[in-house]
Structure 1
Amino acid sequence: MTLEPGSADIIQLAWARRLGFDDGAFAGAAGTRLTRADEAARSLQFVRLFGSSALVGPQWALDAAAGYTDEELAQHVTLLTITRTHGGHGLGAAALFFADDLPLRQPSDELTVSQGNPEAMELEALCPPDDVNEVGLAGLEHRFTILHEEEGRRTPVACGAYTEWEGILAQLGVLVAPEWRRSGVGTLAASIAAHEALASGLTLQWRADVSNKGSLALARSLGFTAGGIQTSVLLG
């Protein structure tokens, strides 16, 4: 699906606030790179959205990045090179997807969905730590966990969740139990969370590590539109 006219401006507004810029910063800097020096920053962040870009970090990092193109800064290895002498490590590059509407997915059978925290925590215990850390259910306050009932016991199989960014974006995440992957239940969980967020008047955001083929494919299959990239390194 394509975004409605004006949605890109709304998304850039949310990111401008998130990164500490004035509300109209992206709109007033089309074709140029926004920079903001933050000497207390524990990370260096590069964000590219709908053709505009921004870089936030200590002044020494901004100075070191000045000679690089946006395409180069979008590469995690470039930020690691810039910050090597300051202990730069981790985080990586994430593709950013957005949607202001999505098709409604209807389950083939009746579902039990819990909004409780214990069920989401139980699901995390069933999943590999790397998956748990990438999705970060603990930081997504609105959770919708699909339960499978068998022999009188309900087991969590997938959770779609979101949290609000700047009262504008709904940052989505989906976690699926390993044995239930590729069954369609992850798509359904994502759809449930997405439509709850849309009903609250939020624009949807999906972040996926550029190497996570499953998450990238799920975003596209749900109907999200690619809008940019976020590349970050932690500073030692």
Structure 2
Amino acid sequence: MNLDPGSADIIQLAWARHLGLDDGAFAAVRKLDADAVVSGAVQLAAGTRITRADESRKSVDFVRLFGASALVGPQWALDAAAGIPDEELAQHVTLLTITRQHGGHGKGAAALFFADDLPLRQPAEELTVSHGNPEAIELEGLCPPDDVNEVGLSDLEHRFTILRDDNGRKVPVACGAYSEWEGILAQMGVLVDPDWRRRGLGSLAASIAAHEALAAGLTLQWRSDVSNKGALAIARSLGFSTGGIHTSVLLG
């Protein structure tokens, strides 16, 4: 599904605040790029990047959203990145390279997807959905640690766990969750028991959480490692629109 133009503005506002930029930073770049294209200054339009130096920051973050990009980190990182095209800077290996002498490590590159409306998915059968924490915690214990760490259910306030009957006991098989992010977006996450994957339960759980977030007036954000094919597939199948990429490394 396509995003409403106003939703892109909301998303960029949330990210501007997250990165410590002025609220209108991304909008100003879009106007500058448009003016440059009209005047024929194509090189300026293609190379515009927002930067903010923060010497106390313990990470270097590059974000590209709807064609506008921003880089935040210590001044030495901004200097090292000058002249590197956005396409290269979005690669995790590039940030690791320019931060190696400062202990750059961890994090990675995450694809960003967004939605301001989604089709409602109906289950093929009656399901039990829990809003409780114990079921979500139990589900985490059934999943690989890497999946648990990436989704971070413990950091997502609103959880919707699908339960199935197992010899008279309700067991968790999938959880869709969200948490309010920068007061504007709903950061989404979904976790599925490996024994119950490829049955549509992840998409269903994510759809339940997404519509709860939409009803709360939030725009949806789906963030997934670029190598996580399963999570990327769920985002696309639900109708999320591709919005950009976030690449980050920790320092020290």
Deviations 1:198-225 (Å, cap 9, x if unpaired)? 0000000101111111111111000000
Instruction: Tell me which residue corresponds to 1:22.
Output: 22
| TM superposition shift of 1:134 | 0.5
Instruction: Tell me which residue corresponds to 1:223.
Output: 239
Percent identity between matched residues is 81
| TM superposition shift of 1:5 | 2.2
- The amino acid of 1:130's aligned partner reads D
Q: Take 2:198 and 2:83, find their aligned partners in 1: how far apart are those partners? A: 44
- The amino acid of 1:226's aligned partner reads T
Q: Take 1:23 and 1:195, find their aligned partners in 2: how far apart are those partners? A: 27
- The amino acid of 2:72's aligned partner reads V
The reply to whether residue 64 of structure 1 matches residue 87 of structure 2 is no
After the TM superposition, which segments of 4 or more aligned residues of structure 1 sit over 6 Å from their partners?
Answer: none
The reply to whether residue 7 of structure 1 matches residue 30 of structure 2 is no
Instruction: Tell me which residue corresponds to 2:192.
Output: 176
| TM superposition shift of 1:150 | 2.5
Q: Take 1:206 and 1:134, find their aligned partners in 2: how far apart are those partners? A: 12
Instruction: Tell me which residue corresponds to 1:50.
Output: 66
Instruction: Tell me which residue corresponds to 1:154.
Output: 170
- The amino acid of 1:8's aligned partner reads A
Q: Take 2:230 and 2:168, find their aligned partners in 1: how far apart are those partners? A: 32
Equivalent residues, number: 236
Q: What SS does the aligned partner of 1:146 have?
A: strand
**Segment of structure 1 superposing worse, 144-153 or 119-128:** 144-153
Q: Take 2:73 and 2:237, find their aligned partners in 1: how far apart are those partners? A: 34
Deviations 1:34-76 (Å, cap 9, x if unpaired)? 1111111111000000000000111111111112111111011
- The amino acid of 2:13's aligned partner reads L
- The amino acid of 1:173's aligned partner reads G
Instruction: Tell me which residue corresponds to 1:34.
Output: 50
Q: Take 1:140 and 1:15, find their aligned partners in 2: how far apart are those partners? A: 18
Q: What SS does the aligned partner of 1:6 have?
A: helix
Deviations 1:154-205 (Å, cap 9, x if unpaired)? 1000000001112110010000000000011111000000000000000001
The reply to whether residue 120 of structure 1 matches residue 122 of structure 2 is no
Q: Take 2:210 and 2:110, find their aligned partners in 1: how far apart are those partners? A: 19
Q: What SS does the aligned partner of 1:92 have?
A: strand
TM-score by length of 1: 0.98
Q: Take 1:66 and 1:117, find their aligned partners in 2: how far apart are those partners? A: 46
Q: Take 1:169 and 1:62, find their aligned partners in 2: how far apart are those partners? A: 28
Deviations 1:106-133 (Å, cap 9, x if unpaired)? 0111111111111100000000000000
Structure (1 or 2) with the larger CA radius of gyration: 2
5+ unaligned residues in a row in structure 1: which ranges? none
Q: 1:95 aligns with which of 99, 111, 114?
A: 111
Q: Take 1:211 and 1:150, find their aligned partners in 2: how far apart are those partners? A: 33
**Segment of structure 1 superposing worse, 29-38 or 196-205:** 29-38
Instruction: Tell me which residue corresponds to 2:215.
Output: 199
